[in-house]
Amino acid sequence: MANSLKDFTNIYQLSKTLRFELKPIGKTEEHINRKLIIMHDEKRGEDYKSVTKLIDDYHRKFIHETLDPAHFDWNPLAEALIQSGSKNNKALPAEQKEMREKIISMFTSQAVYKKLFKKELFSELLPEMIKSELVSDLEKQAQLDAVKSFDKFSTYFTGFHENRKNIYSKKDTSTSIAFRIVHQNFPKFLANVRAYTLIKERAPEVIDKAQKELSGILGGKTLDDIFSIESFNNVLTQDKIDYYNQIIGGVSGKAGDKKLRGVNEFSNLYRQQHPEVASLRIKMVPLYKQILSDRTTLSFVPEALKDDEQAINAVDGLRSELERNDIFNRIKRLFGKNNLYSLDKIWIKNSSISAFSNELFKNWSFIEDALKEFKENEFNGARSAGKKAEKWLKSKYFSFADIDAAVKSYSEQVSADISSAPSASYFAKFTNLIETAAENGRKFSYFAAESKAFRGDDGKTEIIKAYLDSLNDILHCLKPFETEDISDIDTEFYSAFAEIYDSVKDVIPVYNAVRNYTTQKPFSTEKFKLNFENPALAKGWDKNKEQNNTAIILMKDGKYYLGVIDKNNKLRADDLADDGSAYGYMKMNYKFIPTPHMELPKVFLPKRAPKRYNPSREILLIKENKTFIKDKNFNRTDCHKLIDFFKDSINKHKDWRTFGFDFSDTDSYEDISDFYMEVQDQGYKLTFTRLSAEKIDKWVEEGRLFLFQIYNKDFADGAQGSPNLHTLYWKAIFSEENLKDVVLKLNGEAELFFRRKSIDKPAVHAKGSMKVNRRDIDGNPIDEGTYVEICGYANGKRDMASLNAGARGLIESGLVRITEVKHELVKDKRYTIDKYFFHVPFTINFKAQGQGNINSDVNLFLRNNKDVNIIGIDRGERNLVYVSLIDRDGHIKLQKDFNIIGGMDYHAKLNQKEKERDTARKSWKTIGTIKELKEGYLSQVVHEIVRLAVDNNAVIVMEDLNIGFKRGRFKVEKQVYQKFEKMLIDKLNYLVFKDAGYDAPCGILKGLQLTEKFESFTKLGKQCGIIFYIPAGYTSKIDPTTGFVNLFNINDVSSKEKQKDFIGKLDSIRFDAKRDMFTFEFDYDKFRTYQTSYRKKWAVWTNGKRIVREKDKDGKFRMNDRLLTEDMKNILNKYALAYKAGEDILPDVISRDKSLASEIFYVFKNTLQMRNSKRDTGEDFIISPVLNAKGRFFDSRKTDAALPIDADANGAYHIALKGSLVLDAIDEKLKEDGRIDYKDMAVSNPKWFEFMQTRKFDF
């Protein structure tokens, strides 16, 4: 068992990829250009795009041919849907799962499916499809040529194939065919069947007239046939879906022809003609297109916009489509008659509720709170009403009827001024959205008619952006109405909605294409793969396969080279053997036995065994009977005989005997796997042969060998400083220390890439010009506008008087750093020249046998280990990341923020970048590189934290992102925090410090493995090695010395009557003349609270000041200082209520007017506020209203380093303290094998409150 974190080494294998630049040597690039190698591979990259379209065509064909004859029984699923309604009963998921599996098995059981993702797709399936197409011979040949170019390069499509495999997934994922059929289209189809039945009962002539008009396309069928559950089998393919949707919506006639009206049109007409049945608002809902059938590109949007005209045409094409389909008027009609809909059959997604609430009430949780209250009242009197309400709140959808009723009831309780129902308010929003979009569309039309140029013109760009933004706003408001898995819908609403939504969705590709075109950087990072006409290029390094893989690795004078042998020259690297000269290259000779359990039997026991291995009859029988395999027929003697045969055969093998295997005694092997493991561990060897430099130079000169230096800045002539990890890993792979006991293994499957230059006229700092540092001498960033002005001044283009105040101040105070450029500096120089790249994978811990599940080992190490410390990490409101390091007893050893690292104030720099990006985003100017800045910052924070963990033998405790991630004014948003979390896990997968020796802990060959391999955030659970995840609730606003937290549900107490009632439940209100403070005593059990406190009775004091958000006379909110005691005195003096004697004044308060209690209520409310922040002054502190055991009030401004020193430190400290509870659980509940139930590790609120409110405070 480990005694220290530094003992967690060599646990499991890990694969990584090293990335280098390649610099052509000698005439290499000249021959590459002469042989058109770049051109051929670039053409293959372009063909890739056209071939993926052909592959999708084949998938569509396969889907159609498979589903067209399909026949399933849909009645059980229909019954489950009808029974479930909006609730998630158990029958529905089970039926859906069964139907998905039946559908997908129809595909996977076919022989064609097995070829879909293999080379046969290119050699058989696609050519057959192309030859049968009704296109010109010229087009056919072009398609066949494109496909043939990948005949030996099918691995290009590995990623694409993985994506397309999702189409045939049995899981309930939205990209699956089965999901589209079962979860999306069948509920709609079932709703239509029910609607049809209702129409036929109440208005049969609608069906009769529709039947007659559509007879020409019905082909002898009746509408009864179409709208029956069994007929869902006839709408699985795209052509049948189109046909079905035509029956519902009609068929547009050609020019001069009459349109065939569908069922919906006849239904509308009937209602108009029969006002007495106006309530019969039933419409059919069209079905979604089949998967891949909805991937058709809009004709007016090219894949990549190349110029202004294409961008203008794309936007204008979208505008024309929306006008042609009369979308704006249809939206007005749809949302202009909400009083006619059945609101209990119009649904909104649960995942949209928070945003919906904020949109209407500027409060993320208002509707959720209302729904919870609504359901609890409905269950009133029932046992576990709260739990039932919580379960209901997890429903996938909520009806507008429930939302309206809940908000109405809740707003009355909390005295909120809600003027109209949420449904009415939300529906009404569309009127303004449509008017705005229409006006922006008119402005765009005027501009587009005059000019097709706009880049560089902020005004024109803003017109385009405003129009697309207004369309995006409409789409954003429509999206919550999308439904699946629900058949009980208002068909009139959803019929119109589906058509509108499909049209408005087209804004997404247009918006993305135009925005990306407008904001694109002046350079391109796009690169394509190089093959040098060899599909097997660098697939492996084995010496025997150098002619096939045509790639070799060379070394000379501390530099590394990649040699690519010309495919058309059947040359052997051995032909370059050294002729005795002292000046030469060292060539790597790579030998490796992959998967010995497969390779040894294949080589030594083939069906026709070479005579030199000569297996005996007995050995052949052992193989045939499989008695060497550890199962019911296992025979250890037979196993050992086979092992001896393998040992003998290895010694006869020309290549493998050179490994110098040192095997264990045969009798020591428990089974064959032990022997295979030894072969694998010893079956990797790198040796080096000297090659003639003169011959290599000649080969390069003749174009027989393409030679590149494997390069990064560490290999530059005169390079200084610490090398990066890629360099350290690369050198270590070939080092003597590694090869004598292999830790790092070089792998095959390397790749070469090429990136064309994309900047022809770069920005240049000319020699002799003046350059301004973007940070002042104190390390603070200079904002972009000020920086530009100072540059102008420094280079004589502006005088001092024309500068802004900030620029003048920096110059006059001497804070700005201005230096003369000694040699020409080119901006983004790497994009001004063509570049070659080399990506090469390698394995870490080659001999490790673990699977990466280290939690049990970590827990065994932690159990009863009092030398372990704890690092709590918190996102701060005023800091980027804050950490608190504590010991097992809760004593703080370190607390710090990570705003400044390496002299860079990242807090200020990120603030500046965010402002610049916000301005750029609003005007669609080129967006700055905040991504790189954030990643650079996170990388440095991760390094600091892991160093802290190792140096202090500490575990790391973080906020659980899967438990209601906190909203608010945080400097690090969820996406960035997740990236930080993943970077931390990845770093701890194999922790290396550059300054450690090769074989020292944290050295390149002895990295620490302190986390499990990352799969996904949802699979992280509560632990990943030494990282533990806890709910962050009640960690920031809590008194560290008493455990007091404000648990009152004060949002409900909004009227004066309720406030007086609230104050009346207090135990007492007294004035303490000695402290000159008022004290409120109360018992939490008497009040409505969010959680249950362990300690019930508390006394809170009007201690100090609070910074309170208050509305001023102008109606604007400001942060004001409130002196609690003075406020209380003023109120009591105003009402002439005596208090100085120190007696309980609560009875007097209750006997007076409710206004007195209301004013005291706000003092009490402010007293409970522990976190106080003001941006203007930089104040951010925690102050407690509760006296602790030492007779003091905790105030983070007045404490020493033994307690949290500010509000963010308080959060990090208590996250660390929650971690100590996790370690306590490990001490008590860990099983002998290191496993523990996650429930035992959970830190519930009751458990947390008990811990904080009972622990001994002695510091």
Helices (H), strands (E): how many in the chain?
47, 32
The two structure tokens encoding residue 1182: 């925690």
SS3 1023: strand
SS3 797: coil
Residue 279 has pLDDT above 70, yes or no: no
User: Of residues 216 and 1111, which shows the higher confidence score?
Assistant: 216
Q: What is the CA radius of gyration of the chain?
A: 37
- Give the angle 521-523-527 at the CA atoms, nearest 5°: 120
Highest mean pLDDT among 18-32, 843-857, 1047-1061 belongs to 18-32
User: Helical H runs in 629-668?
Assistant: 636-652
Give the pLDDT of residue 21.
97
625 Cβ contact list (under 8 Å, min separation 6): 633, 638
Q: How many CB atoms lie within 10 A of CB 46?
A: 11
**For residues 863, 869, 875 and 876, what is the CA-based torsion angle, rounded to 10 degrees?**
140
SS3 516: helix
- As annotated, the active-site residues are 765, 827, 874, 959, 1208
Q: How confident is the model at residue 416 (pLDDT cuts 50, 70, 90)?
A: low
Average pLDDT over residues 114-139: 90
The two structure tokens encoding residue 494: 């959803």
Give the pLDDT of residue 969.
42
Average pLDDT over residues 38-67: 93
- Beta bridge partner(s), residue 1173: 1180
Q: Specify whether the CB–CB gap between 894 and 884 falls below 8 A.
A: yes
Alpha-carbon gap, residue 1159 to 1078, rounded angstroms = 14
Alpha-carbon gap, residue 1248 to 1094, rounded angstroms = 9
Alpha-carbon gap, residue 1259 to 890, rounded angstroms = 10
Give the pLDDT of residue 299.
59
881 Cβ contact list (under 8 Å, min separation 6): 873, 874, 875, 897, 898, 941, 972, 980
Alpha-carbon gap, residue 549 to 531, rounded angstroms = 10
**pLDDT tens-digit profile of 1065-1095?**
999 999 999 999 999 999 999 998 888 999 9
The two structure tokens encoding residue 1024: 């990943």
Q: How confident is the model at residue 1259 (pLDDT cuts 50, 70, 90)?
A: low
Question: What is the distance, to the nearest Å, from the Cα of residue 1148 to the centroid of all Cα atoms in its chain?
Answer: 58
Give the pLDDT of residue 974.
58
Residue 906 has pLDDT above 70, yes or no: no
Give the pLDDT of residue 519.
79
Q: How confident is the model at residue 968 (pLDDT cuts 50, 70, 90)?
A: very low
**pLDDT tens-digit profile of 695-743?**
899 999 999 999 999 999 999 988 888 899 999 999 999 999 999 999 9
Question: What is the distance, to the nearest Å, from the Cα of residue 1005 to the centroid of all Cα atoms in its chain?
Answer: 32
Q: How many CB atoms lie within 10 A of CB 590?
A: 20
**pLDDT tens-digit profile of 840-856?**
999 999 999 887 789 99
In sequence order, what E strands does 712-750 have?
744-746
Give residue 574's identity as a one-letter amino acid code.
D
Give the pLDDT of residue 85.
55
Q: Specify whether the CB–CB gap between 286 and 498 falls below 8 A.
A: yes
Q: Specify whether the CB–CB gap between 504 and 474 falls below 8 A.
A: yes
Distance separating the N- and C-terminal Cα atoms of the chain:
34
SS3 608: coil
SS3 467: helix
Highest mean pLDDT among 551-555, 579-583, 916-920 belongs to 551-555
Give the pLDDT of residue 89.
66
Q: Specify whether the CB–CB gap between 262 and 227 falls below 8 A.
A: no
Alpha-carbon gap, residue 20 to 82, rounded angstroms = 60
Alpha-carbon gap, residue 266 to 261, rounded angstroms = 7
User: Of residues 506 and 784, which shows the higher confidence score?
Assistant: 506
**pLDDT tens-digit profile of 971-1017?**
445 567 778 888 999 999 999 999 888 889 999 999 999 999 888 77
- Give the angle 365-419-472 at the CA atoms, nearest 5°: 60
- 3-class DSSP string for 40-88: HHHHHHHHHHHHHHHHHHHHHHHHHHHHCCCCCCCHHHHHHHHHHCCCC
483 Cβ contact list (under 8 Å, min separation 6): 187, 347, 349, 397, 489, 494
How would you classify the pairing of strands 559-565 and 14-24?
A: unpaired
Task: List the single range of 521-530, 695-704, 952-961 with lowest mean pLDDT.
Answer: 521-530
Residue 44 has pLDDT above 50, yes or no: yes
**pLDDT tens-digit profile of 331-390?**
999 898 777 788 888 989 888 888 888 888 888 778 888 888 788 777 765 556 667 777
Q: Specify whether the CB–CB gap between 895 and 870 falls below 8 A.
A: no
The average confidence (pLDDT) of the chain is: 87
Give the pLDDT of residue 252.
73
**pLDDT tens-digit profile of 576-585?**
777 666 678 9
Phi, psi of 595 (to 5 degrees): 35, 70
Phi, psi of 791 (to 5 degrees): -60, -45
Task: List the single range of 249-258, 438-447, 637-646, 762-771 with lowest mean pLDDT.
Answer: 249-258
Average pLDDT over residues 412-416: 65
Average pLDDT over residues 894-918: 71
Q: How confident is the model at residue 179 (pLDDT cuts 50, 70, 90)?
A: very high
User: Of residues 568 and 224, which shows the higher confidence score?
Assistant: 224
The two structure tokens encoding residue 679: 């072969």
Q: Percent of the chain beyond pLDDT 90? A: 52
Long-range contacts formed by 230-237: CB under 8 A, 24+ apart: 230/74, 232/74, 232/186, 232/189, 233/70, 233/71, 233/72, 233/74, 235/185, 235/189, 235/287, 236/67, 236/68, 236/70, 236/181, 236/290, 237/63, 237/64, 237/67, 237/68, 237/290
Q: How confident is the model at residue 202 (pLDDT cuts 50, 70, 90)?
A: confident
Residue 926 has pLDDT above 70, yes or no: no
SS3 885: strand
- Give the angle 699-700-705 at the CA atoms, nearest 5°: 75
User: Of residues 787 and 39, which shows the higher confidence score?
Assistant: 39
Average pLDDT over residues 1034-1049: 94
The two structure tokens encoding residue 534: 């060899």
Alpha-carbon gap, residue 140 to 802, rounded angstroms = 67
Average pLDDT over residues 852-877: 90
Give the pLDDT of residue 493.
87
Sign of CA dihedral 492, 496, 498, 501: negative
Give the pLDDT of residue 928.
53
Place of tokens 């080279």: 561
User: Of residues 438 and 1238, which shows the higher confidence score?
Assistant: 438
